[in-house]
Structure 1
Amino acid sequence: MNAASPPVKLGAAMAARRTPEQLKARRQWVWREMLTSLWAPLSLLGIAFVPYVTLIEVAPSTAGWAQPAMKGFGLLMVAYFVALLIWRNVSPKEKAIRQLRHDARELIAEDERILARVQGKVPAQASERITEQALRVETASMEGDVARLQAEVKTLEALTAEHLGAYRKQSAWDFIGGFAKALLIALVIRTVIVEPYRIPSGSMLPTLQIGDQVFVNKFIYGVRIPFLNVVPFRIVRAPARGDVIVFNNPVDESKDFIKRVIGVPGDTVEIVDGVVVINGQPQPRQLVSTDYVVHNWNEQGGEWFDEEEVLYREDLAGVEHATLQNAVQQPSKAREGPFVVPADHVFVMGDNRNNSLDSRYGLGGPIRVAYVPFGHIKGKAMVVWLSLGYGGLLSNLFGGTGLRVDRFFEPVR
Structure 2
Amino acid sequence: MVLYRYRHHLPFAAYLGSAARLDVPKDLRRDFEAATQLVEEADRIFRRKRAEIEQLVSAATREEVADSVEALRDEIDREKFDPEAFTSAYERAGELVTKHLGRWQKSELREYVESIAVALAIALLLRAFVVEAFKIPSGSMLPTLQIQDHIFVNKLAYGPLVPYTGYRILPSLPPKRGDIIVFEYPDPNPHAKSQDFIKRVIALEGDVLEVDGGHPIINGWRVPSCRVGTYEFTEGSDSYKKRGELFVEYLGDYSYLTLYEDVGFSGKQGPYRVKPGETWVLGDNRNNSSDSRAWFGGKGGGVPDANIKGRAMFVWLSFGADSVTWDRIFTNVMGKPRLPKEADPELVRGIERCLEQRPAQTLPPPAPPQ
TM-score (norm 1): 0.64
Residue of structure 2 equivalent to 1:65: none
With over 3 angstroms needed to count, the CA separation of the structure-2 counterparts of 1:324 and 1:114, relative to structure 1, is same
Match of 1:293 among 217, 221, 232: 232
Q: What CA deviation, in whole Å up to 9, does each residue of 1:355-391 have, x standing for no partner?
A: 22211222xx75642321001101112333x23222x
Residue of structure 2 equivalent to 1:335: 268
Residue of structure 2 equivalent to 1:260: 200
Q: CA RMSD in A?
A: 3.6
Q: Give the counterpart letter for 1:325 in structure 2.
A: Y
Q: Tell me the distance in 1 between the aligned counterparts of 2:327 and 2:50.
A: 54
Please show how residues 191-340 of structure 1 align to structure 2 within 5 Å: 191-231=128-168, 233-234=170-171, 236-251=172-187, 254-290=194-230, 292-298=231-237, 306-329=241-264, 333-340=266-273
Report if the CA contact (8 A) 1:141-1:149 is conserved: no
Residue of structure 1 equivalent to 2:349: none
Aligned-residue offset at 1:276: 0.9
- Structure 2 residue 54 is the aligned partner of structure 1 residue 132: no
Match of 2:14 among 17, 36, 40: 36
Aligned-residue offset at 1:142: 5.5
Unaligned runs of 5+ in 1: 1-33, 41-87, 391-398
Please show how residues 12-411 of structure 1 align to structure 2 within 5 Å: 36-37=14-15, 94-119=25-50, 121-122=53-54, 123=59, 124-135=62-73, 137-138=75-76, 143=81, 145=83, 149-169=86-106, 185-231=122-168, 233-234=170-171, 236-251=172-187, 254-290=194-230, 292-298=231-237, 306-329=241-264, 333-362=266-295, 368-384=299-315, 386-390=316-320, 399-411=321-333
Report if the CA contact (8 A) 2:277-2:304 is conserved: yes
Higher helix fraction (1 or 2): 1
Aligned-residue offset at 1:133: 3.5
Q: What CA deviation, in whole Å up to 9, does each residue of 1:136-163 have, x standing for no partner?
A: 6526896363x65444332221111122
Which moves more between the two structures, 151-160 or 342-351? 151-160
With over 3 angstroms needed to count, the CA separation of the structure-2 counterparts of 1:380 and 1:129, relative to structure 1, is same
Q: Percent identity?
A: 32
Aligned-residue offset at 1:280: 1.4
Q: Describe the SS at the equivalent of 1:402.
A: coil
Aligned-residue offset at 1:183: 5.3
Unaligned runs of 5+ in 2: 1-11, 336-370
Aligned-residue offset at 1:323: 0.4
* Aligned residue pair count: 310
Aligned-residue offset at 1:190: 3.0
